[in-house]
């Protein structure tokens, strides 16, 4: 299948580990080297047209910026003008050379309110002309190594650019980059932290886990109300949620029992899954991880919306959200599942990516990366078209932003 492209996403964070942008990966491959209309350009223009044109304002990720990889053909293309310039950073690939024509094009794009970034920058006299026309410079700290990274940062401090550390994979690397005064950070440390030794679940998590089990077993509403009353924060969050303007109720809910009865067990379970990944986490848990978990839930659900019934779609949401609990709670998934009373199909998906839900979770996880062949293979197995996968991914990203987490 030629004319295809899939969307990948990775968070970009500031020094406080707050998400400020996402890198969105559109291209089918990185092989385009000329200005000819290649499959690469067809793929890029198709995704831009579908995701940004057909999706309308849904794509806007709150107040975040979108970093988009751009090769030479797309940089020269008028299709870029389809994008909302003030929220887009055009990320110039390291294979692009600063010819006089391209430098002039960069100036034109900045005049349109686009911001520009250099990807995988290595300082050479040949690449220096770019430094006067870009806003961000991204350094691959794994490729450069500590010494060359520090040397390059020192040089770049003489230019009016913001520095982004790429491929930050450990806490030590994050700390080292902060000492070098990088402005922004990107890498697996924030999205895929290592699973360390097991730690005790703090009270907020313990209470949410207990409630999840009670709701899953359809226990009496009085027992569920009692569980809420044991945790003031939980009760407050529930009432604030159900009394929110967006919930659409005409009367204010005054009691926990009333809230639970109005909400219903299925919706309550769904809400608790969100709460589990956003309540009571330690400061060492990157905020991006929490948001990734919730995004996984929504994307997994959307990918199965035309294949499974309502109850199964709800379970897909749970599968996606819970798929990062091992990293969040810093314990093996087997230990997490010991504390949860989950249906076998959900457990199979979380442990082995098998069963009715496993393939949808696999595709969701693949969408976070750049292995296009794997995404294509998994999508084909589920009989999903690339456009459907892209649309679902954008809908998931936009939906999570509306939650304010």
- Residue-wise pLDDT for 312-329, tens only, equals 887 888 899 889 888 777
Reduced 3-state DSSP string for the chain: CCCCCCCEEEEEECCCCCEEEEEEECCCCCCCCCCCCCHHHHHHHHHHHHHHHHCHHHHCCCCCEEEEEECHHHHHCHHHHHCCHHHEEEEECCCCCCCHHHHHHHHHHHHCCCEEEECCCCCCCCCHHHHHCCCEEEEEHHHHHHHHHHHHHHHHCCCCCEEEEECCCCHHHHHHHHHCCCCEECCHHHHCCCCCCCCCCCHHHHHHHHHHHHHHCCCCHHHHHHHHHCCHHHHHHHHHHHCCHHHCCCCCCCCHHHHHHHHCHHHHHHHHHHHHHHCCCCCCCCHHHHHHHHHHHHHHHHHCCCCCCHHHHHHHHHHHHHCCHHHHHCCCHHHHHHCCCCCHHHHHHHHHCCCCCHHHHHHHHHHCCCCHHHHHHHHHHCCCCHHHHHHHHHHHHHHHHHCCC
Start-end of CATH 3.20.20.450 domains in the chain: 8-191
Distances (CA, A) of 188 to 57, 93, 161, 170, 252: 29, 20, 24, 8, 43
pLDDT at 57: 39
Q: Which among 279-283, 292-296, 378-382 has the top mean pLDDT?
A: 378-382
- Given a cut of 60, whether residue 227 has pLDDT beyond it is yes
For 161-172, b/e burial (b = at least 16 CB within 10 A) is bbbbbbbbbeee
- Given a cut of 60, whether residue 61 has pLDDT beyond it is no
Digit-coded pLDDT (tens) for 181-201: 999 999 877 765 333 334 444
CATH of domain 203-402: 1.10.3210.10
Please give the Cα distance from 152 to 123 (Å, whole number): 7
pLDDT at 130: 94
Question: Given this structure, which CATH class describes domain 8-191?
Answer: alpha beta
pLDDT at 191: 62
Please give the Cα distance from 196 to 78 (Å, whole number): 48
Start-end of CATH 1.10.3210.10 domains in the chain: 203-402
pLDDT at 44: 53
Give me the mean pLDDT over the 85-92 stretch: 88
Find out whether 317 and 273 touch, Cβ atoms under 8 Å: yes
pLDDT at 203: 47
pLDDT at 249: 55
Compute φ and ψ for 248, nearest 5 degrees. Answer: 80, 25
pLDDT at 240: 64
**Residue 196, class by beta-carbon neighbours within 10 Å (0-12 exposed, 13-18 middle, 19+ buried)?**
exposed
Please give the Cα distance from 107 to 104 (Å, whole number): 5
Cα 234 to its chain centre, rounded Å, is: 26
54 pLDDT band, cuts 50/70/90, is very low
pLDDT at 65: 83
């Amino acid at each position: 299948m030629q004319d295809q492209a899939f969307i990948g996403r990775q968070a970009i964070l500031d020094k406080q580990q707050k998400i400020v942008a996402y890198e969105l990966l559109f291209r089918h491959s990185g092989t385009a080297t000329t200005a000819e209309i290649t499959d690469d350009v067809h793929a890029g223009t198709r995704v831009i047209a579908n995701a940004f044109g057909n999706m309308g304002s849904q794509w806007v990720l709150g107040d975040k910026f979108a970093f988009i990889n751009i090769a030479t053909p797309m940089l020269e293309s008028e299709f870029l003008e389809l994008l909302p310039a003030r929220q887009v950073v055009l990320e110039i690939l390291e294979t692009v050379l600063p010819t006089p024509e391209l430098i002039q094009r960069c100036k034109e794009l900045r005049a349109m309110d686009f911001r520009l970034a250099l990807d995988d920058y290595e300082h050479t006299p040949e690449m220096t002309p770019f430094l006067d026309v870009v806003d961000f410079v991204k350094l691959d700290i794994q490729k450069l190594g500590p010494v060359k990274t520090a040397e390059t940062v020192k040089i770049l401090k003489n230019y009016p650019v913001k520095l982004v550390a790429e491929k930050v994979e450990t806490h030590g690397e994050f700390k080292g980059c902060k000492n070098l005064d990088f402005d922004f950070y990107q890498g697996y440390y924030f999205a895929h932290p290592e699973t360390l030794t097991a730690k005790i679940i703090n009270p907020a998590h313990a209470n949410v886990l207990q409630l999840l089990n009670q709701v899953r077993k359809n226990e009496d509403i009085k027992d569920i109300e009692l569980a809420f009353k044991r945790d003031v924060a939980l009760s407050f969050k529930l009432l604030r949620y159900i009394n929110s303007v967006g919930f659409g109720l005409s009367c204010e809910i005054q009691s926990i029992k009333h809230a639970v009865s109005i909400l219903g067990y299925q919706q309550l379970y769904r809400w608790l899954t969100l709460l589990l990944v956003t309540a009571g986490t330690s400061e060492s848990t990157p905020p991006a991880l929490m948001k990734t978990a919730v995004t996984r839930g929504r994307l997994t659900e959307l990918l199965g919306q035309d294949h499974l019934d309502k109850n199964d779609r709800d379970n897909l949401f749970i599968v996606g959200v819970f798929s990062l609990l091992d990293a969040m709670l810093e314990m093996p998934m087997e230990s997490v599942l010991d504390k949860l009373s989950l249906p076998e199909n959900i457990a199979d998906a979380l442990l082995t990516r098998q069963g009715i839900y496993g393939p949808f979770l696999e595709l969701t996880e693949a969408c976070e990366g750049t292995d296009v062949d794997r995404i294509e293979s998994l999508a084909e197995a589920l009989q999903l078209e690339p456009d459907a996968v892209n649309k679902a991914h954008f809908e998931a990203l936009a939906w999570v932003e509306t939650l304010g987490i």
